[in-house]
Amino acid sequence: MSATAAQAHLVRAARFYEATIGKKVVMAVTGVILFGFVVGHLIGNLQIFLGREKIDAYGEFLHSKPSLLWTARSVLLLAVGLHIIASIQLAGLKSKARPVGYVKKASVGSTYASRTMMWSGPIILAFVIYHLLHFTFGTVLPEFQEGHVYDNMVSGFRRIPVSIAYIVAMALLGTHLYHGIWSMFQSVGVAHPRYTRVIKIFAAAATIFIVVGNISIPVAVMTGIVH
């Protein structure tokens, strides 16, 4: 590809992103990446119910592939950054399009999840940062032992305030995910009434699986099922 052709592609891409639809597509694509990570992360963590050896072996496998691990982390970091930037810019465009608010704010046609996206997102981001400091780097977990995934999770979730905060964060993630999955399909053009019911069922089922699966871990530790 010549330099001129490459420059033309970049110009077209920039113009596409400047439009509202471009930002929505970026949010949809990055949303798919983040959704895939959340599902994969949950499946990995649920191995705690299979015992110490199983989940510790899983953690050892991940750290035995540093190039793969850091590539995944880099992609995730880029996806998170683009997702946040696009959402802020979309909110700015919406604000400019309607500089004067309604005398009476109506919620017709919207859901609680859609109305809380702007503040649930930053809260989830703050939780993710804490989660990394807690279980990946061990900065806020005095008993942290490198490579001992099972013991680290048990030690962490034995602290009731930490488990409660984790459960609340997962509930917020659920509201964010439900609306995000629905919006993702709309952004890529799958918004025909014929598919509405199927999309809503999929969004609800995926959200329930992720939220219940994640919450089950701290609950199992607090109740002594996992110890």
Rounded CA gap, 39 and 106, in Å?
Answer: 34
- What one-letter code names the amino acid at 119? W
Q: For the segment 119-177, what is each residue's pLDDT rounded down to a tens digit?
A: 556 777 777 788 888 888 888 888 889 889 999 999 999 999 999 999 998 988 888 88
Q: For the segment 98-135, what is each residue's pLDDT rounded down to a tens digit?
A: 655 544 444 444 444 445 555 556 777 777 788 888 88
What the block records as the tokens of 121 is 């997102």
Rounded CA gap, 152 and 48, in Å?
Answer: 11
CB 181 within 8 A of CB 207: yes
Q: For the segment 198-221, what is each residue's pLDDT rounded down to a tens digit?
A: 888 888 999 999 999 999 999 999
CB 39 within 8 A of CB 177: no
Q: Where are the domains of the chain?
A: 8-96+113-222
Sole residue written with tokens 């607090």: 222
Look at the pTM and tell me if it is higher than 0.75: yes
